A and B are shown apart, each in its own frame.
Chain A
Amino acid sequence: MTRLTGFLPPALARPFNAVGAALLVIAALLPWATFLLNDGAFPDKATLQFFDAPLAVTGFRWQLLLIGVAALVLAFVRIPGQGRVLRALGWGGLAIGVVGAIFIASEGGGLGAITAADGTTAFGSIVAVLGGVALVLGSTALGIPDIPDWPTRFFGLSGWPLRLAAWVVLVVAFGGVLYLVSLTLTAGGIGGAADPYAGPIFLAFLGFAGALLGALHGAGVTRWVSRLSEEHRGFSILVLVACAFALPFTEAGSQYWMQVAATIGVYAATAIGLNIVVGLAGLLDLGYVAFLGIGAFVAANLSGAGASALGWDLPFPVAALIAAAVAGVFGAIVGSPTLRVRGDYLAIVTLAFGEIFYRSAQNDIGELTGGASAIPGIPPISMFGTAFNEPLELFGAELPSGVLYYFLIVLVVAAIMAVFANLKNSRMGRAWIAIREDEDAARAMGIRTGKAKILAFLVGATLAGLAGAIFVHKLGTASYESFQFLESVTLLAAVILGGMGTIPGAVLGASLLFVLPEKLREFDEYRLLVFGLALILIMRFRPQGLVPDRVRRAELAGETAMGKSIEEAEEQAVLEHEEALSAQKEDRR
């Protein structure tokens, strides 16, 4: 069924789509800035010098060109999910245009920079914005169809050939994801002085990647792949882990990006833990980063660091387990007020706990945290006679230092994912979800809600504690400053942004929220602003998160599982109900 949500009559859909697509193509071939920016040519020669090499279209303009050409073709060729695909392309083009326009105008001295000044013209970004808007309008006028369903048995295959074909599809798909991840990480280069344009290039690339994924999703490809991967679960996990291990062999395999990837891994692991508390059990925790901190400080004290108060030197696996256990105990302690308070009050209790932890660590209570001077000099993890900060030679490839941490964290994240998935599909997980859905009804089913909630806090905190132990070794320093309220909020945002209650959601959310600051370093003062804006936009237009849970998808996307819009389904339910009542009245007379 197709929802008509456009502002335009359907008859105008095709002209708008065609014009929009054409404008995107043209924008890709126009100059974007009327003069040189201070730090040199705006990326990819989108400046006046452009005409020295008119067809040397690279970077974001190359991506825009791809989007434009694809849209131009799809404006005339019917494919399943056409409206959705075109809409995704339109938003992507619009995003690239807006990012470029804002950046050039703000750096280049106002509107003149992106229109006409000093006798030259550069309307690239404006044309791109117009094209994007036209495409979005045209595609919605075309109607937004249901996402097409593709069969998981195809080409009339069955048995072994079918399995093989499915495996090939999965390898290609996950390989594509790997490639995209590598591109995303490296897009624009390292932020800061080294690559002053990292921010806008990265954001523009996000627009492109979003358009690509959105188009694939609209055409039913992502859903198809996720179904295939569900049918071949074991194989998918294998390929996914293999892909994760292959990342260091791509362009992203530099020391810097491996370090960033490992940091993301730590936060992703923490976010999955938080997802148990918030996403499954529905308990809002605003002080969660404290558990990461507890794990970190415990591990620091057991690492043999000279500056730590305890100074024990335990092997890393033992220290990590102890750190996790201690964090878990604190989780249970913080969770116990949940027996008495609900909702907003619980959020305040957890907020207070986070603050208590932060202040205690800052003031070096018990001399375990080093206070303002932190605990420096934590030695790297060392196992099997190898220190984890050493470079590595593998399959003839020189892998940079830090890659071992990356491998370790990949394994840990995979293990935590398995824990999450197993718990979610068990008696305990269902009890948590039941509590989230309706606590009284859950109690009426015999669920000891108090115990269940404490257990949720305990498990979540344990996972965070484990992540904290790796974090602190990787960083080499344990400082209270890493565990501020803002980190809790960011983790929570990662969970909500990615999609509550889902694993890919938490990982994606954590990746985005912790990569962005790296890329936007040049705009330190606006970083939070951009952050906040992005969150608001996502919550407004995609409240179910980027990778929603099956059910929340239905609830929040305005679609029921039967494919009806929610308004429609509710209307029908009301009608049925009224009918039933009037029939009853008739009956009684």
Chain B
Amino acid sequence: MNAARHSAETVLEASGVTMVFGGLTALNDVSLSLPEGRIVGLIGPNGAGKTTFFNCLTGLYTPTRGAVRLRGKELPHDPAKVTTAGIARTFQNIRLFPNMSVLENVLVGRHIRMRQGPLASLFHGPGFRRDERRAREKSLELLEFVGLRGVEDEVARNLPYGDQRRLEIARALATEPDVLLLDEPTAGMNPQETEDARQLIFRIRETGISVVVIEHDTKFIFSLCDTVSVLVQGEVLVEGSPDVVREDPRVIEAYLGKPREEVEAEVAEAAAHHGADHQGPAAGRRDDA
């Protein structure tokens, strides 16, 4: 593995996360560690359990087994508390507050960083106004940061698709997280927007935030991430640097949709024959997008 990786402190550590829905094991003993200031990619076919994993990390789901630690402290199973602790996320199917303005969406993101008791909300004293002004300034800075300055009074639902995704990122950043979880941030974007998103994620990392990204676009993931984990049928199949993952035949096969056992059998066979096929990374387009 990357030598530099060991020097960075681990921010987020998930160990042995297992999630069972009735009879379905969506996640089986999944572990992941996110070093400070890194971008980790999470890929895998549809239904592999990627989003479920995010939901376990953020407390939306209570995992059947396993624990999530942020800087060594175990996280509670309550999304609000997890966010306060320093993890922010976006959603695969954009979940903005559609009828609020762009600025208000980001202001809601500032919720936990604002100091306004109910009484201050009632009387709007000088302290309230100072707090409100600061929150507005911060939010506008964030909108500037993601490239949405100038549309702050627009209603969120009227934004073009790509801008909605960027707004969701700005809203998540407004919570001042240590860790940002992005669930398919470029789904439905055109190449230019995808490239902008890539640059944006780099800039987010520069501010000291560590990032986990789920994406189907493998080209995007491999050019963005420091390490990549591949999730197949709820289990981590491969983990490593993009170069390692890209060349791994199991990943290639998994992306073609064969069951895990079959893939593993083939890998064993391929190893025996020394004849791994060189198709290059198969484009993991979602067939339902």
Contacts and interface: CB of A to CB of B under 8 A. Distances in A.
Contact of A446 (B96, B107, B111, B157): B111
A427 B174 CA distance: 14
Given A426-B116, A428-B121, A430-B107, A577 B188 contact: yes
A445 B109 contact: yes
Contacts of B194: 584
B178 interface: no
Interface centre among A419, A445, A569, A581 (most CB of B within 10 A): A445
A551 B100 contact: yes
A232 interface: no
A588 B283 contact: yes
B222 interface: no
A561 B155 contact: yes
Contacts of A447: 80, 108, 111-112
Interface stretch (B122-130, B236-244, B246-254): B122-130
Interface string A432-445: 01100110111111
A437 B189 contact: no
The contact size tier of chain B is: 35 or more
A430 B157 contact: no
A282 to B, nearest CB: 11
B158 A569 contact: yes
Contacts of B107: 427, 430
B111 A427 contact: yes
A580 B160 CA distance: 11
Interface stretch (A39-47, A212-220, A406-414, A552-560): A552-560
Contact of B155 (A446, A449, A551): A551
A525 interface: no
Given A430-B108, A437-B99, A446 B83 contact: yes
The contact size tier of chain A is: 35 or more
B193 interface: yes
Given A428-B121, A445-B83, A561-B154, A580 B108 contact: no
Contacts of B96: 438, 441
Given A445-B83, A445-B112, A561-B158, A426 B97 contact: no
A304 to B, nearest CB: 31
Contacts of A583: 190-191
Given A443-B80, A569-B158, A434 B122 contact: no
Nearest to B60: A440
B118 A449 contact: no
B16 interface: no
A573 B219 CA distance: 26
A555 B217 CA distance: 34
B122 A422 contact: yes
B68 to A, nearest CB: 15
B155 A580 contact: no
Nearest to B131: A427
A562 interface: yes
Contacts, number: 138
Contact of B80 (A422, A448, A562): A448
A466 interface: no
A305 interface: no
B158 A445 contact: no
A445 B190 contact: no
Contacts of A587: 191
A576 interface: yes
Nearest to A578: B188
Given A552-B99, A573-B161, A426 B154 contact: no
A444 B108 contact: no
A580 B97 contact: no
A423 interface: yes
Contacts of A579: 190
B84 interface: yes
Interface in B178-201: 188-191, 193-194
A114 interface: no
Contacts of B162: 580
B285 A588 contact: yes
Contacts of A427: 107, 110-111, 114, 116, 121, 131, 135
A278 interface: no
Interface centre among A429, A434, A446, A585 (most CB of B within 10 A): A446
Contacts of B84: 446
Nearest to A549: B99
A426 B128 contact: yes
Contacts of B95: 438, 440-441, 444
A434 B121 contact: no
A446 B217 CA distance: 30
A431 interface: yes
A455 interface: yes
Contacts of B283: 588
A433 B190 contact: no
A15 to B, nearest CB: 38
Contacts of B58: 444
Contacts of A446: 80-81, 83-84, 111-112, 175
Contacts of B99: 433, 437, 551-552, 554-555
Contact of A441 (B97, B160, B193): B97
Contacts of A426: 116, 120-122, 124, 128, 132
B202 interface: no
A444 B157 contact: no
A580 B189 contact: yes
Contacts of A433: 97, 99-100, 104
A560 B101 CA distance: 12
B38 interface: no
A585 B217 CA distance: 11
B190 A584 contact: yes
B188 A434 contact: no
Nearest to A554: B155
Interface in A379-434: 419, 422-423, 426-431, 433-434
Nearest to B162: A580
Contacts of B118: 428, 455
A245 B111 CA distance: 39
Nearest to B161: A577
B171 interface: yes
B98 interface: yes
A562 B156 CA distance: 12
Contacts of A428: 116, 118, 121
B89 interface: yes
Contact of B100 (A434, A444, A448, A576): A434
A551 B79 CA distance: 28
Contact of B121 (A422, A552, A576): A422
A437 B114 contact: no
7 contacts: A422-B121, A433-B104, A437-B97, A447-B108, A551-B99, A561-B158, A588-B219
Nearest 9 A/B pairs, CB to CB: A426-B121, A446-B112, A446-B83, A580-B190, A437-B97, A443-B79, A551-B99, A441-B95, A427-B116
Interface of A: 419, 422-423, 426-431, 433-434, 437-438, 440-449, 455, 551-552, 554-555, 560-562, 569, 573, 576-577, 579-581, 583-585, 587-588
Given A431-B108, A579-B190, 20 more contacts: A426-B132, A427-B116, A430-B104, A430-B107, A434-B100, A434-B111, A437-B100, A438-B95, A443-B79, A444-B89, A445-B111, A445-B171, A445-B175, A446-B81, A446-B175, A577-B161, A577-B188, A580-B188, A580-B193, A588-B283
